[in-house]
Structure 1
Amino acid sequence: MNFNLATIKIKNLRLRTYIGINEDEIKNKQDVVVNVKIDYDAEKATNTDDMSDALNYKTITKAIIKLVEDNRFSLLEKLTADVLSIAAEHSSVRYAEVEVDKPHALRFSDSVSLTLSCNKSE
């Protein structure tokens, strides 16, 4: 049996960062929730059972955490695009999608989110 396309999902990664343009947002870190979906060619990993042939989601997650927590962002678009760049950077990635939620950004709503994706197989 040949298993080619694998999907990794990093779900509800809760982080804190400076995000926004209002004075309060510039001075205080806020919660963000990051969800990542990565499709990659896992044929070699499924055949060898060797970590060096797989996409390391722990490494990707650590890079996302460092990016989000160590930087400031005015726009949700920029934050999401930067996370997507990390998710899509490995050569075996065919498709990546990132959704970033900003909880309580609007009164009366649970959150505001933005989703960006890239398809490297086209």
Structure 2
Amino acid sequence: MNISLAKIHISNLRLRTFIGFNPEEREKQQDVVINIDIHYPASLSAQSDSVEDALNYKVVTKKVIQHVEEGRFLLLEKLVSDILAISCEHPWVRYCQVKVDKPHALRFADSVSLSLEAHLDSDSSVNPFK
């Protein structure tokens, strides 16, 4: 069997952070909802059943949680870019997309969201975040 890429989807990670440039946004944490898609080669891990041959999504998630909860961001673009960079740190990552929702950012909308994605070469030196 020829297995190409594993697709990890971290779904609806709910955190609180300081996000926004209005005075009230800079004083009070707000909810954000984070979705991350990470694609990486899985042929080895699918056959070996070894943890060392897989990308550890728990490690990625812990780094994201720490960065978001300890950070202060004026723009959603910066927050999403930082999460994308963290999600692309592992040299096996070939593609990553991050979407962050800011619930109730607009009066008549459920949420405002922003997405960014990165396509990475198999050569880790091509990683735009390094």
Q: Is 1:44 the equivalent of 2:44?
A: yes
Aligned position for 2:73: 73
Aligned position for 1:62: 62
Counterpart-to-counterpart distance in 1, 2:57 and 2:2: 22
| Structure 1 unaligned spans of 5+ | none
Residue 5 of structure 1 and its aligned partner are, at CA, apart by 0.6
Aligned position for 1:23: 23
Instruction: Kindly provide the amino acid, as one letter, of the partner of residue 62 in structure 2.
Output: K
Aligned position for 2:127: none
Residue 47 of structure 1 and its aligned partner are, at CA, apart by 1.4
Counterpart-to-counterpart distance in 2, 1:88 and 1:41: 14
> Residue deviations 1:25-70, cap 9 Å, x none?
0000000000000010111111110001100011110000000000
Aligned position for 2:86: 86
| Structure 2 unaligned spans of 5+ | 123-130
List 4+ stretches of structure 1 deviating above 4 A. none
Q: Is 1:34 the equivalent of 2:34?
A: yes
Aligned position for 1:108: 108
Counterpart-to-counterpart distance in 1, 2:110 and 2:39: 28
Counterpart-to-counterpart distance in 2, 1:64 and 1:35: 11
Aligned position for 1:95: 95
TM-score using structure 2 length: 0.91
Aligned position for 2:120: 120
Instruction: Kindly provide the amino acid, as one letter, of the partner of residue 35 in structure 2.
Output: N
TM-score using structure 1 length: 0.97
Counterpart-to-counterpart distance in 2, 1:16 and 1:95: 26
Paired residues, number: 122
Task: Calculate the aligned-residue CA RMSD, in Å.
Answer: 1.0
